[in-house]
Chains A and B, each alone.
Chain A
Protein backbone atom coordinates (compact mmCIF):
# COMPACT_ATOMS: atom_id res chain seq x y z
CA UNK A 1 0.00 0.00 0.00
CA UNK A 2 2.88 2.36 0.73
CA UNK A 3 4.27 1.80 -2.74
CA UNK A 4 0.93 2.51 -4.34
CA UNK A 5 0.34 5.69 -2.42
CA UNK A 6 3.80 7.02 -3.24
CA UNK A 7 3.33 6.18 -6.87
CA UNK A 8 0.03 7.92 -7.01
CA UNK A 9 1.40 10.97 -5.28
CA UNK A 10 3.86 11.24 -8.16
CA UNK A 11 1.00 11.38 -10.59
CA UNK A 12 1.69 7.89 -11.91
CA UNK A 13 -1.52 6.23 -12.99
CA UNK A 14 -0.14 3.07 -14.51
CA UNK A 15 1.05 -0.15 -12.89
CA UNK A 16 0.22 -0.72 -9.25
CA UNK A 17 3.89 -1.01 -8.40
CA UNK A 18 6.42 1.69 -7.71
CA UNK A 19 7.52 2.90 -11.14
CA UNK A 20 11.17 2.81 -12.02
CA UNK A 21 12.71 6.21 -12.77
CA UNK A 22 13.98 5.01 -16.16
CA UNK A 23 10.49 3.83 -17.03
CA UNK A 24 9.03 7.18 -15.98
CA UNK A 25 11.40 9.03 -18.30
CA UNK A 26 10.43 6.73 -21.13
CA UNK A 27 6.70 7.23 -20.52
CA UNK A 28 7.20 10.99 -20.43
CA UNK A 29 9.03 10.92 -23.78
CA UNK A 30 6.73 8.53 -25.60
CA UNK A 31 3.47 9.72 -24.08
CA UNK A 32 2.53 6.13 -23.32
CA UNK A 33 -0.21 6.01 -20.70
CA UNK A 34 -1.68 2.55 -21.28
CA UNK A 35 -1.57 0.51 -18.09
CA UNK A 36 -0.68 -2.73 -19.88
CA UNK A 37 2.20 -1.11 -21.72
CA UNK A 38 3.47 0.79 -18.69
CA UNK A 39 3.39 -2.33 -16.55
CA UNK A 40 5.26 -4.35 -19.17
CA UNK A 41 7.98 -1.71 -19.54
CA UNK A 42 8.27 -1.15 -15.82
CA UNK A 43 8.67 -4.83 -15.09
CA UNK A 44 11.19 -5.19 -17.91
CA UNK A 45 13.38 -2.36 -16.68
CA UNK A 46 13.24 -3.44 -13.07
CA UNK A 47 14.06 -7.01 -14.10
CA UNK A 48 17.04 -5.99 -16.22
CA UNK A 49 18.34 -3.89 -13.37
CA UNK A 50 17.87 -6.71 -10.88
CA UNK A 51 19.76 -9.05 -13.18
CA UNK A 52 22.65 -6.62 -13.66
CA UNK A 53 21.97 -6.40 -17.41
CA UNK A 54 20.67 -2.83 -17.60
CA UNK A 55 24.11 -1.30 -17.13
CA UNK A 56 25.40 -3.30 -20.10
CA UNK A 57 22.83 -1.80 -22.46
CA UNK A 58 23.55 1.15 -24.75
CA UNK A 59 20.31 1.08 -26.70
CA UNK A 60 17.03 -0.73 -25.99
CA UNK A 61 14.18 -0.51 -28.49
CA UNK A 62 10.99 -1.96 -26.94
CA UNK A 63 8.67 -1.16 -29.90
CA UNK A 64 5.69 -0.63 -27.66
CA UNK A 65 2.67 1.54 -28.35
CA UNK A 66 -0.57 2.30 -26.59
CA UNK A 67 -2.27 3.38 -29.79
CA UNK A 68 -6.00 2.72 -29.67
CA UNK A 69 -7.41 5.22 -32.13
CA UNK A 70 -7.36 3.69 -35.60
CA UNK A 71 -8.25 6.91 -37.41
CA UNK A 72 -6.02 9.72 -38.60
CA UNK A 73 -6.39 13.52 -38.57
CA UNK A 74 -8.89 13.14 -35.76
CA UNK A 75 -9.16 16.88 -35.19
CA UNK A 76 -8.73 18.00 -38.79
CA UNK A 77 -11.75 17.16 -40.89
CA UNK A 78 -10.45 19.36 -43.70
CA UNK A 79 -7.76 16.81 -44.46
CA UNK A 80 -8.28 14.59 -47.49
CA UNK A 81 -8.43 11.60 -45.15
CA UNK A 82 -11.98 12.83 -44.57
CA UNK A 83 -14.26 12.81 -47.57
CA UNK A 84 -16.82 15.60 -47.85
CA UNK A 85 -20.14 15.33 -49.65
CA UNK A 86 -23.41 17.29 -49.91
CA UNK A 87 -21.39 20.44 -50.47
CA UNK A 88 -19.99 20.10 -47.01
CA UNK A 89 -17.17 22.47 -46.25
CA UNK A 90 -14.86 22.40 -43.27
CA UNK A 91 -13.30 25.34 -41.54
CA UNK A 92 -10.66 24.20 -39.12
CA UNK A 93 -9.95 25.41 -35.61
CA UNK A 94 -12.94 27.71 -35.44
CA UNK A 95 -14.78 26.57 -32.33
CA UNK A 96 -13.86 25.74 -28.77
CA UNK A 97 -13.41 21.99 -28.37
CA UNK A 98 -14.43 19.93 -25.33
CA UNK A 99 -10.89 20.22 -24.00
CA UNK A 100 -11.07 24.03 -24.08
CA UNK A 101 -8.77 24.55 -27.05
CA UNK A 102 -9.70 26.23 -30.31
CA UNK A 103 -9.36 23.01 -32.28
CA UNK A 104 -12.91 22.05 -33.19
CA UNK A 105 -13.95 22.36 -36.85
CA UNK A 106 -17.02 24.00 -38.28
CA UNK A 107 -18.80 21.92 -40.89
CA UNK A 108 -21.42 23.48 -43.10
CA UNK A 109 -23.62 21.89 -45.71
CA UNK A 110 -27.25 21.15 -46.50
CA UNK A 111 -28.25 17.58 -45.97
CA UNK A 112 -31.64 16.27 -46.90
CA UNK A 113 -31.41 12.54 -47.30
CA UNK A 114 -33.56 10.55 -44.91
CA UNK A 115 -32.28 7.13 -45.90
CA UNK A 116 -28.55 7.44 -46.19
CA UNK A 117 -26.24 4.82 -47.51
CA UNK A 118 -22.57 4.90 -48.21
CA UNK A 119 -23.12 4.89 -51.94
CA UNK A 120 -25.63 7.68 -52.35
CA UNK A 121 -23.32 10.30 -51.00
CA UNK A 122 -25.61 11.48 -48.27
CA UNK A 123 -22.98 11.74 -45.60
CA UNK A 124 -21.75 15.10 -44.49
CA UNK A 125 -18.27 13.75 -44.14
CA UNK A 126 -16.65 10.41 -43.69
CA UNK A 127 -13.29 8.93 -42.87
CA UNK A 128 -12.39 7.34 -46.15
CA UNK A 129 -11.96 3.60 -46.03
CA UNK A 130 -8.92 4.09 -48.24
CA UNK A 131 -7.32 6.00 -45.40
CA UNK A 132 -8.48 3.71 -42.62
CA UNK A 133 -6.22 1.25 -40.91
CA UNK A 134 -8.30 -1.74 -39.96
CA UNK A 135 -10.25 -4.24 -42.02
CA UNK A 136 -13.75 -5.34 -41.10
CA UNK A 137 -12.83 -9.03 -40.82
CA UNK A 138 -14.93 -10.24 -37.90
CA UNK A 139 -13.96 -7.38 -35.65
CA UNK A 140 -16.13 -5.68 -33.08
CA UNK A 141 -15.39 -1.99 -33.41
CA UNK A 142 -16.58 1.19 -31.76
CA UNK A 143 -16.61 4.56 -33.49
CA UNK A 144 -17.12 7.83 -31.66
CA UNK A 145 -16.98 11.57 -32.22
CA UNK A 146 -17.73 14.77 -30.34
CA UNK A 147 -20.44 16.88 -31.98
CA UNK A 148 -22.11 20.19 -31.15
CA UNK A 149 -25.06 22.01 -32.72
CA UNK A 150 -26.69 25.31 -31.89
CA UNK A 151 -30.19 23.87 -32.26
CA UNK A 152 -31.62 20.50 -31.29
CA UNK A 153 -31.11 18.21 -34.25
CA UNK A 154 -31.05 14.58 -35.26
CA UNK A 155 -27.74 13.19 -36.36
CA UNK A 156 -26.66 9.80 -37.66
CA UNK A 157 -23.35 8.16 -36.97
CA UNK A 158 -22.29 5.39 -39.32
CA UNK A 159 -19.58 2.80 -39.25
CA UNK A 160 -19.03 1.00 -42.50
CA UNK A 161 -16.81 -1.36 -44.38
CA UNK A 162 -15.53 0.28 -47.53
CA UNK A 163 -17.65 -1.34 -50.22
CA UNK A 164 -19.38 -3.59 -47.70
CA UNK A 165 -21.57 -3.64 -44.62
CA UNK A 166 -22.79 -0.48 -42.96
CA UNK A 167 -24.24 0.23 -39.52
CA UNK A 168 -25.97 3.43 -38.49
CA UNK A 169 -27.38 4.92 -35.34
CA UNK A 170 -29.44 8.09 -34.78
CA UNK A 171 -28.95 10.56 -31.98
CA UNK A 172 -30.97 13.59 -30.98
CA UNK A 173 -28.59 16.28 -29.91
CA UNK A 174 -29.40 18.91 -27.36
CA UNK A 175 -28.61 22.45 -28.36
CA UNK A 176 -25.43 24.21 -27.35
CA UNK A 177 -23.56 21.39 -25.67
CA UNK A 178 -20.84 19.00 -26.69
CA UNK A 179 -21.93 15.37 -26.86
CA UNK A 180 -19.85 12.32 -27.64
CA UNK A 181 -21.84 9.93 -29.78
CA UNK A 182 -20.73 6.40 -30.49
CA UNK A 183 -21.65 3.26 -32.37
CA UNK A 184 -20.55 -0.32 -31.79
CA UNK A 185 -20.94 -3.12 -34.31
CA UNK A 186 -19.48 -6.48 -35.17
CA UNK A 187 -18.65 -7.10 -38.80
CA UNK A 188 -19.12 -10.48 -40.44
CA UNK A 189 -16.04 -11.21 -42.50
CA UNK A 190 -15.11 -8.54 -44.97
CA UNK A 191 -11.68 -7.44 -46.12
CA UNK A 192 -12.59 -3.81 -46.74
CA UNK A 193 -11.25 -1.10 -44.47
CA UNK A 194 -13.59 0.35 -41.88
CA UNK A 195 -14.52 4.01 -41.87
CA UNK A 196 -16.68 6.37 -39.86
CA UNK A 197 -19.27 8.77 -41.28
CA UNK A 198 -21.65 11.46 -40.09
CA UNK A 199 -24.98 12.54 -41.51
CA UNK A 200 -26.75 15.59 -40.17
CA UNK A 201 -29.65 17.83 -41.12
CA UNK A 202 -28.01 20.82 -39.52
CA UNK A 203 -26.67 23.54 -41.73
CA UNK A 204 -23.83 23.99 -39.31
CA UNK A 205 -22.25 21.34 -37.14
CA UNK A 206 -19.16 21.46 -34.99
CA UNK A 207 -17.03 18.34 -34.68
CA UNK A 208 -13.92 17.21 -32.85
CA UNK A 209 -12.15 14.13 -31.64
CA UNK A 210 -13.11 11.23 -33.90
CA UNK A 211 -12.09 7.77 -32.78
CA UNK A 212 -12.37 4.21 -34.09
CA UNK A 213 -11.18 1.40 -31.87
CA UNK A 214 -11.36 -2.31 -31.29
CA UNK A 215 -13.89 -3.47 -28.70
CA UNK A 216 -17.35 -2.49 -27.63
CA UNK A 217 -16.55 0.60 -25.55
CA UNK A 218 -15.65 4.13 -26.52
CA UNK A 219 -12.56 4.65 -24.40
CA UNK A 220 -10.90 7.95 -23.57
CA UNK A 221 -10.29 9.93 -26.72
CA UNK A 222 -6.73 9.58 -28.08
CA UNK A 223 -5.76 12.38 -30.48
CA UNK A 224 -4.00 11.37 -33.70
CA UNK A 225 -2.60 14.52 -35.25
CA UNK A 226 -1.69 13.01 -38.60
CA UNK A 227 -1.68 9.27 -39.22
CA UNK A 228 -1.81 6.27 -36.95
CA UNK A 229 1.54 5.18 -38.43
CA UNK A 230 3.19 8.47 -37.54
CA UNK A 231 1.75 8.26 -34.03
CA UNK A 232 3.18 4.80 -33.44
CA UNK A 233 6.53 5.71 -35.03
CA UNK A 234 6.76 8.63 -32.62
CA UNK A 235 6.61 6.11 -29.76
CA UNK A 236 8.75 3.40 -31.37
CA UNK A 237 11.69 5.70 -32.05
CA UNK A 238 12.77 6.08 -28.45
CA UNK A 239 15.70 4.30 -26.83
CA UNK A 240 14.46 3.06 -23.47
CA UNK A 241 17.94 3.49 -22.01
CA UNK A 242 18.13 7.17 -22.98
CA UNK A 243 14.71 8.41 -24.10
CA UNK A 244 15.69 11.74 -25.57
CA UNK A 245 14.68 12.73 -29.08
CA UNK A 246 18.29 13.10 -30.16
CA UNK A 247 20.68 11.24 -32.45
CA UNK A 248 23.16 11.28 -29.57
CA UNK A 249 20.64 9.29 -27.52
CA UNK A 250 20.48 6.64 -30.25
CA UNK A 251 16.86 7.33 -31.12
CA UNK A 252 15.66 5.63 -34.27
CA UNK A 253 14.94 7.37 -37.54
CA UNK A 254 12.97 5.18 -39.89
CA UNK A 255 13.91 5.13 -43.56
CA UNK A 256 11.90 3.71 -46.45
CA UNK A 257 8.85 1.51 -45.97
CA UNK A 258 7.73 0.34 -42.54
CA UNK A 259 4.42 -0.66 -41.02
CA UNK A 260 4.00 -0.10 -37.30
CA UNK A 261 1.49 -1.84 -35.07
CA UNK A 262 0.93 -3.04 -31.53
CA UNK A 263 2.91 -6.19 -32.32
CA UNK A 264 6.03 -4.38 -33.48
CA UNK A 265 7.80 -2.61 -36.32
CA UNK A 266 7.70 -4.37 -39.67
CA UNK A 267 10.18 -3.41 -42.39
CA UNK A 268 9.01 -4.03 -45.94
CA UNK A 269 12.07 -5.94 -47.18
CA UNK A 270 12.33 -3.53 -50.10
CA UNK A 271 13.90 -0.34 -48.76
CA UNK A 272 12.92 -0.12 -45.08
CA UNK A 273 15.53 0.23 -42.36
CA UNK A 274 16.14 2.33 -39.26
CA UNK A 275 19.23 4.33 -38.37
CA UNK A 276 20.23 3.78 -34.73
CA UNK A 277 22.96 6.47 -34.77
CA UNK A 278 25.04 4.03 -32.71
CA UNK A 279 28.61 3.85 -33.98
CA UNK A 280 30.51 0.92 -32.42
CA UNK A 281 33.85 2.66 -32.92
CA UNK A 282 32.65 5.67 -30.95
CA UNK A 283 30.55 3.97 -28.28
CA UNK A 284 31.41 0.29 -28.17
CA UNK A 285 34.16 -2.11 -27.16
CA UNK A 286 36.01 -4.42 -29.51
CA UNK A 287 35.85 -7.52 -27.32
CA UNK A 288 32.69 -6.86 -25.34
CA UNK A 289 29.65 -6.29 -27.51
CA UNK A 290 26.22 -7.64 -28.27
CA UNK A 291 23.27 -6.95 -30.57
CA UNK A 292 19.84 -8.54 -30.32
CA UNK A 293 16.59 -8.75 -32.30
CA UNK A 294 13.22 -10.27 -31.46
CA UNK A 295 11.78 -11.58 -34.72
CA UNK A 296 8.07 -12.29 -35.09
CA UNK A 297 8.35 -13.29 -38.76
CA UNK A 298 9.42 -16.59 -40.23
CA UNK A 299 11.38 -16.06 -43.43
CA UNK A 300 14.42 -17.46 -45.19
CA UNK A 301 15.80 -14.77 -47.49
CA UNK A 302 19.06 -12.85 -47.55
CA UNK A 303 18.12 -10.44 -44.82
CA UNK A 304 20.17 -8.76 -42.12
CA UNK A 305 18.26 -7.72 -39.01
CA UNK A 306 20.82 -5.42 -37.39
CA UNK A 307 24.34 -4.54 -38.39
CA UNK A 308 27.17 -2.58 -39.91
CA UNK A 309 30.18 -3.33 -42.13
CA UNK A 310 33.31 -1.17 -41.86
CA UNK A 311 35.75 -1.48 -43.46
CA UNK A 312 34.85 -4.04 -46.08
CA UNK A 313 34.47 -7.60 -44.69
CA UNK A 314 34.51 -6.45 -41.04
CA UNK A 315 31.06 -6.90 -39.54
CA UNK A 316 28.98 -6.46 -36.46
CA UNK A 317 25.64 -8.01 -37.40
CA UNK A 318 22.87 -10.50 -36.94
CA UNK A 319 21.69 -12.21 -40.11
CA UNK A 320 18.78 -14.38 -39.10
CA UNK A 321 18.14 -17.38 -41.31
CA UNK A 322 19.46 -16.93 -44.81
CA UNK A 323 19.11 -20.19 -46.74
CA UNK A 324 18.51 -21.97 -43.46
CA UNK A 325 21.55 -20.48 -41.70
CA UNK A 326 21.84 -17.79 -39.03
CA UNK A 327 25.01 -15.72 -38.70
CA UNK A 328 26.37 -14.02 -35.59
CA UNK A 329 29.26 -11.71 -36.55
CA UNK A 330 30.66 -9.50 -33.84
CA UNK A 331 33.55 -7.27 -34.95
CA UNK A 332 34.91 -9.98 -37.21
CA UNK A 333 35.32 -10.96 -40.84
CA UNK A 334 34.56 -14.66 -40.94
CA UNK A 335 32.44 -17.30 -39.30
CA UNK A 336 30.08 -20.15 -39.96
CA UNK A 337 26.35 -19.98 -40.30
CA UNK A 338 24.31 -21.98 -37.82
CA UNK A 339 21.47 -24.21 -39.05
CA UNK A 340 18.17 -22.66 -38.04
CA UNK A 341 14.77 -24.23 -38.64
CA UNK A 342 12.85 -20.96 -38.43
CA UNK A 343 13.48 -17.27 -37.80
CA UNK A 344 11.06 -16.81 -34.92
CA UNK A 345 12.22 -15.71 -31.50
CA UNK A 346 14.85 -13.74 -29.70
CA UNK A 347 18.38 -13.72 -31.13
CA UNK A 348 21.52 -12.39 -29.47
CA UNK A 349 24.91 -12.03 -31.15
CA UNK A 350 27.58 -11.63 -28.50
CA UNK A 351 31.33 -11.26 -28.03
CA UNK A 352 33.02 -11.50 -24.64
CA UNK A 353 36.72 -11.83 -25.60
CA UNK A 354 39.01 -11.49 -28.61
CA UNK A 355 38.49 -15.19 -29.31
CA UNK A 356 35.01 -15.80 -27.86
CA UNK A 357 31.95 -15.06 -29.96
CA UNK A 358 28.61 -16.75 -29.52
CA UNK A 359 24.99 -16.63 -30.49
CA UNK A 360 21.79 -17.33 -28.61
CA UNK A 361 18.28 -18.13 -29.75
CA UNK A 362 15.53 -18.03 -27.14
CA UNK A 363 18.05 -18.28 -24.33
CA UNK A 364 19.89 -21.29 -25.75
CA UNK A 365 23.45 -20.95 -26.99
CA UNK A 366 23.41 -22.15 -30.60
CA UNK A 367 26.79 -20.76 -31.64
CA UNK A 368 30.07 -20.99 -29.74
CA UNK A 369 33.06 -19.90 -31.80
CA UNK A 370 36.62 -18.68 -31.36
CA UNK A 371 36.70 -16.37 -34.37
CA UNK A 372 39.08 -13.51 -33.65
CA UNK A 373 37.89 -9.93 -33.46
CA UNK A 374 39.36 -7.49 -35.99
CA UNK A 375 38.12 -3.93 -35.62
CA UNK A 376 35.26 -1.90 -34.25
CA UNK A 377 33.24 -0.78 -37.28
CA UNK A 378 33.38 2.99 -37.64
CA UNK A 379 29.84 3.66 -38.91
CA UNK A 380 26.29 3.60 -37.61
CA UNK A 381 24.42 0.38 -36.97
CA UNK A 382 21.23 -0.04 -38.97
CA UNK A 383 18.17 -1.99 -37.94
CA UNK A 384 16.37 -4.25 -40.46
CA UNK A 385 19.34 -4.02 -42.86
CA UNK A 386 23.07 -3.44 -42.51
CA UNK A 387 25.12 -0.35 -43.14
CA UNK A 388 27.20 -1.62 -46.01
CA UNK A 389 30.82 -0.58 -46.53
CA UNK A 390 29.85 1.52 -49.55
CA UNK A 391 27.68 3.61 -47.22
CA UNK A 392 24.29 2.23 -48.31
CA UNK A 393 21.71 0.08 -46.56
CA UNK A 394 21.56 -3.49 -47.88
CA UNK A 395 19.95 -6.89 -47.26
CA UNK A 396 16.62 -5.36 -46.21
CA UNK A 397 14.69 -7.46 -43.71
CA UNK A 398 11.05 -8.47 -43.71
CA UNK A 399 11.11 -9.61 -40.09
CA UNK A 400 8.85 -7.77 -37.68
CA UNK A 401 10.86 -6.59 -34.71
CA UNK A 402 9.28 -6.58 -31.26
CA UNK A 403 12.50 -5.76 -29.39
CA UNK A 404 16.14 -4.99 -30.16
CA UNK A 405 19.20 -3.97 -28.22
CA UNK A 406 22.83 -2.87 -28.63
CA UNK A 407 25.30 -3.05 -25.79
CA UNK A 408 28.27 -4.63 -24.09
CA UNK A 409 29.08 -8.33 -24.05
CA UNK A 410 26.85 -10.62 -21.99
CA UNK A 411 27.70 -13.66 -19.91
CA UNK A 412 25.82 -16.86 -20.65
CA UNK A 413 23.75 -16.21 -17.53
CA UNK A 414 23.03 -12.66 -18.73
CA UNK A 415 21.88 -13.96 -22.11
CA UNK A 416 19.59 -16.50 -20.49
CA UNK A 417 18.16 -13.95 -18.07
CA UNK A 418 17.72 -11.40 -20.85
CA UNK A 419 15.66 -13.85 -22.86
CA UNK A 420 13.52 -14.63 -19.83
CA UNK A 421 12.86 -10.93 -19.22
CA UNK A 422 12.18 -10.16 -22.86
CA UNK A 423 9.86 -13.12 -23.30
CA UNK A 424 7.93 -12.10 -20.18
CA UNK A 425 7.69 -8.59 -21.66
CA UNK A 426 6.37 -9.94 -24.96
CA UNK A 427 3.90 -12.18 -23.14
CA UNK A 428 2.62 -9.22 -21.13
CA UNK A 429 1.92 -7.52 -24.47
CA UNK A 430 0.34 -10.70 -25.93
CA UNK A 431 2.80 -10.86 -28.81
CA UNK A 432 5.29 -13.54 -27.80
CA UNK A 433 6.46 -16.14 -30.32
Chain B
Protein backbone atom coordinates (compact mmCIF):
# COMPACT_ATOMS: atom_id res chain seq x y z
CA UNK B 1 0.00 0.00 0.00
CA UNK B 2 2.99 2.29 -0.31
CA UNK B 3 2.38 3.36 -3.85
CA UNK B 4 -0.09 5.95 -5.03
CA UNK B 5 -0.88 4.20 -8.34
CA UNK B 6 -1.81 1.02 -6.44
CA UNK B 7 -4.36 2.88 -4.34
CA UNK B 8 -5.57 4.74 -7.40
CA UNK B 9 -6.03 1.55 -9.41
CA UNK B 10 -7.66 -0.25 -6.52
CA UNK B 11 -10.18 2.50 -5.86
CA UNK B 12 -10.81 2.91 -9.57
CA UNK B 13 -11.32 -0.82 -10.00
CA UNK B 14 -13.76 -1.13 -7.09
CA UNK B 15 -15.77 1.90 -8.10
CA UNK B 16 -15.92 0.86 -11.74
CA UNK B 17 -16.84 -2.66 -10.75
CA UNK B 18 -19.82 -1.72 -8.62
CA UNK B 19 -20.88 0.98 -11.05
CA UNK B 20 -20.72 -1.30 -14.09
CA UNK B 21 -22.35 -4.28 -12.43
CA UNK B 22 -25.13 -2.40 -10.73
CA UNK B 23 -25.85 1.11 -11.99
CA UNK B 24 -24.85 0.66 -15.59
CA UNK B 25 -26.24 -2.86 -15.80
CA UNK B 26 -29.61 -1.63 -14.55
CA UNK B 27 -29.64 1.21 -17.05
CA UNK B 28 -28.79 -1.16 -19.90
CA UNK B 29 -31.38 -3.65 -18.77
CA UNK B 30 -34.40 -1.40 -18.34
CA UNK B 31 -33.17 2.11 -18.98
CA UNK B 32 -34.10 2.33 -22.66
CA UNK B 33 -37.83 1.81 -22.49
CA UNK B 34 -40.12 3.10 -25.19
CA UNK B 35 -43.70 4.20 -24.57
CA UNK B 36 -46.40 1.55 -24.48
CA UNK B 37 -49.22 1.70 -27.02
CA UNK B 38 -52.72 0.74 -26.04
CA UNK B 39 -55.64 1.72 -28.26
CA UNK B 40 -58.21 1.10 -25.53
CA UNK B 41 -56.48 3.48 -23.14
CA UNK B 42 -56.09 6.30 -25.62
CA UNK B 43 -52.89 5.52 -27.48
CA UNK B 44 -49.35 6.25 -26.35
CA UNK B 45 -48.60 5.75 -22.66
CA UNK B 46 -47.42 7.59 -20.62
CA UNK B 47 -49.08 10.63 -22.14
CA UNK B 48 -46.24 13.10 -21.62
CA UNK B 49 -46.27 16.59 -20.20
CA UNK B 50 -46.93 19.37 -22.69
CA UNK B 51 -47.87 23.03 -22.89
CA UNK B 52 -48.62 24.96 -19.72
CA UNK B 53 -47.98 21.83 -17.63
CA UNK B 54 -44.43 21.64 -18.96
CA UNK B 55 -43.89 25.24 -17.91
CA UNK B 56 -45.38 24.42 -14.53
CA UNK B 57 -42.88 21.63 -14.14
CA UNK B 58 -40.11 24.20 -14.45
CA UNK B 59 -41.75 26.27 -11.70
CA UNK B 60 -42.00 23.13 -9.54
CA UNK B 61 -38.30 22.52 -10.04
CA UNK B 62 -37.35 26.16 -9.46
CA UNK B 63 -39.22 26.40 -6.16
CA UNK B 64 -37.77 23.11 -4.94
CA UNK B 65 -41.10 21.41 -4.31
CA UNK B 66 -39.15 18.16 -4.47
CA UNK B 67 -37.73 18.99 -1.03
CA UNK B 68 -41.04 17.77 0.46
CA UNK B 69 -42.97 15.86 -2.20
CA UNK B 70 -42.36 12.58 -3.95
CA UNK B 71 -43.93 11.35 -7.15
CA UNK B 72 -43.89 7.60 -6.75
CA UNK B 73 -46.38 5.05 -5.47
CA UNK B 74 -45.32 1.83 -3.76
CA UNK B 75 -47.43 -1.27 -3.56
CA UNK B 76 -45.30 -3.73 -1.63
CA UNK B 77 -45.03 -1.64 1.53
CA UNK B 78 -46.51 1.47 3.00
CA UNK B 79 -50.08 2.65 2.75
CA UNK B 80 -49.84 4.61 -0.49
CA UNK B 81 -52.72 2.73 -2.12
CA UNK B 82 -54.94 2.92 0.98
CA UNK B 83 -54.32 6.64 1.16
CA UNK B 84 -55.58 6.99 -2.39
CA UNK B 85 -52.26 8.27 -3.65
CA UNK B 86 -52.42 5.90 -6.58
CA UNK B 87 -53.94 2.70 -7.88
CA UNK B 88 -50.79 0.84 -8.78
CA UNK B 89 -47.03 0.71 -8.37
CA UNK B 90 -45.04 3.37 -10.23
CA UNK B 91 -42.74 1.68 -12.71
CA UNK B 92 -39.82 2.86 -14.81
CA UNK B 93 -42.00 3.32 -17.90
CA UNK B 94 -44.06 5.99 -16.11
CA UNK B 95 -41.03 8.25 -16.01
CA UNK B 96 -39.62 7.96 -19.51
CA UNK B 97 -40.79 11.47 -20.44
CA UNK B 98 -39.86 12.90 -17.07
CA UNK B 99 -36.75 14.97 -17.76
CA UNK B 100 -35.52 15.92 -15.25
CA UNK B 101 -37.11 13.20 -13.14
CA UNK B 102 -38.90 14.58 -10.08
CA UNK B 103 -39.30 11.29 -8.23
CA UNK B 104 -38.24 12.71 -4.87
CA UNK B 105 -36.84 11.13 -1.75
CA UNK B 106 -38.77 12.57 1.17
CA UNK B 107 -42.41 13.08 2.07
CA UNK B 108 -42.93 16.01 4.37
CA UNK B 109 -46.14 16.43 2.43
CA UNK B 110 -48.28 13.99 0.44
CA UNK B 111 -47.17 12.16 -2.68
CA UNK B 112 -48.17 13.97 -5.86
CA UNK B 113 -48.18 11.16 -8.44
CA UNK B 114 -51.94 11.42 -8.83
CA UNK B 115 -52.70 14.82 -7.42
CA UNK B 116 -54.38 15.74 -10.70
CA UNK B 117 -56.95 13.02 -10.12
CA UNK B 118 -57.47 13.78 -6.44
CA UNK B 119 -57.75 17.54 -6.91
CA UNK B 120 -59.18 18.39 -10.32
CA UNK B 121 -60.22 21.89 -9.24
CA UNK B 122 -58.13 24.89 -10.37
CA UNK B 123 -59.43 27.14 -7.62
CA UNK B 124 -58.43 24.66 -4.89
CA UNK B 125 -54.83 24.61 -6.14
CA UNK B 126 -54.66 28.39 -6.47
CA UNK B 127 -55.96 28.92 -2.94
CA UNK B 128 -53.58 26.23 -1.73
CA UNK B 129 -50.57 27.97 -3.26
CA UNK B 130 -51.68 31.43 -2.17
CA UNK B 131 -52.02 30.27 1.42
CA UNK B 132 -52.16 26.56 2.27
CA UNK B 133 -53.91 27.37 5.56
CA UNK B 134 -57.06 28.17 3.56
CA UNK B 135 -57.39 24.65 2.20
CA UNK B 136 -55.38 22.58 4.69
CA UNK B 137 -55.51 24.20 8.10
CA UNK B 138 -52.51 23.38 10.26
CA UNK B 139 -50.18 22.30 7.47
CA UNK B 140 -46.54 23.37 7.48
CA UNK B 141 -46.43 23.92 3.75
CA UNK B 142 -45.17 27.44 3.03
CA UNK B 143 -47.38 29.97 1.28
CA UNK B 144 -46.33 31.22 -2.13
CA UNK B 145 -47.73 34.78 -2.15
CA UNK B 146 -45.08 35.78 -4.69
CA UNK B 147 -46.87 33.66 -7.29
CA UNK B 148 -49.82 36.05 -7.03
CA UNK B 149 -50.45 39.67 -7.65
CA UNK B 150 -52.55 41.81 -5.33
CA UNK B 151 -53.94 44.63 -7.41
CA UNK B 152 -56.57 47.29 -7.27
CA UNK B 153 -59.77 46.48 -9.05
CA UNK B 154 -60.13 48.94 -11.89
CA UNK B 155 -63.44 48.63 -13.63
CA UNK B 156 -64.57 45.04 -13.66
CA UNK B 157 -62.89 42.46 -11.40
CA UNK B 158 -60.78 39.81 -13.09
CA UNK B 159 -62.49 36.49 -13.70
CA UNK B 160 -59.31 34.77 -12.60
CA UNK B 161 -59.27 36.46 -9.18
CA UNK B 162 -59.11 34.19 -6.15
CA UNK B 163 -62.27 33.53 -4.24
CA UNK B 164 -60.81 34.10 -0.77
CA UNK B 165 -62.66 33.24 2.45
CA UNK B 166 -63.31 36.15 4.76
CA UNK B 167 -60.43 35.82 7.21
CA UNK B 168 -57.92 35.76 4.35
CA UNK B 169 -59.53 38.51 2.31
CA UNK B 170 -57.47 41.43 1.02
CA UNK B 171 -58.47 45.10 1.39
CA UNK B 172 -61.72 46.28 -0.09
CA UNK B 173 -61.35 47.19 -3.74
CA UNK B 174 -58.37 44.87 -4.25
CA UNK B 175 -58.15 41.41 -5.75
CA UNK B 176 -55.62 38.56 -5.80
CA UNK B 177 -54.77 37.37 -9.28
CA UNK B 178 -52.51 34.42 -10.08
CA UNK B 179 -49.40 35.10 -12.15
CA UNK B 180 -48.53 32.97 -15.16
CA UNK B 181 -46.23 30.92 -12.95
CA UNK B 182 -49.09 30.04 -10.61
CA UNK B 183 -51.32 29.12 -13.53
CA UNK B 184 -48.60 26.96 -15.03
CA UNK B 185 -47.98 25.22 -11.71
CA UNK B 186 -51.69 24.44 -11.42
CA UNK B 187 -51.65 23.05 -14.96
CA UNK B 188 -48.73 20.84 -13.96
CA UNK B 189 -50.50 19.64 -10.81
CA UNK B 190 -53.58 18.74 -12.85
CA UNK B 191 -51.47 16.90 -15.39
CA UNK B 192 -50.07 14.62 -12.70
CA UNK B 193 -52.15 11.47 -12.94
CA UNK B 194 -51.40 7.87 -13.62
CA UNK B 195 -54.83 7.04 -15.01
CA UNK B 196 -53.66 4.24 -17.25
CA UNK B 197 -52.47 0.70 -16.69
CA UNK B 198 -49.19 -0.76 -17.78
CA UNK B 199 -48.77 -4.48 -18.12
CA UNK B 200 -45.71 -4.64 -15.93
CA UNK B 201 -47.09 -2.48 -13.13
CA UNK B 202 -48.27 -4.39 -10.05
CA UNK B 203 -51.49 -3.13 -8.57
CA UNK B 204 -52.44 -3.39 -4.93
CA UNK B 205 -52.42 -6.83 -3.40
CA UNK B 206 -56.24 -6.88 -3.31
CA UNK B 207 -56.57 -5.85 -6.94
CA UNK B 208 -54.12 -8.53 -7.97
CA UNK B 209 -55.96 -11.24 -6.06
CA UNK B 210 -59.25 -10.13 -7.64
CA UNK B 211 -57.72 -10.34 -11.10
CA UNK B 212 -56.36 -13.73 -10.27
CA UNK B 213 -59.77 -14.94 -9.12
CA UNK B 214 -61.38 -13.72 -12.34
CA UNK B 215 -58.66 -15.33 -14.42
CA UNK B 216 -59.13 -18.62 -12.57
CA UNK B 217 -62.89 -18.50 -13.06
CA UNK B 218 -62.45 -17.86 -16.77
CA UNK B 219 -60.04 -20.73 -16.97
CA UNK B 220 -62.61 -23.02 -15.42
Verify that A and B bind, or say they do not. Answer: no
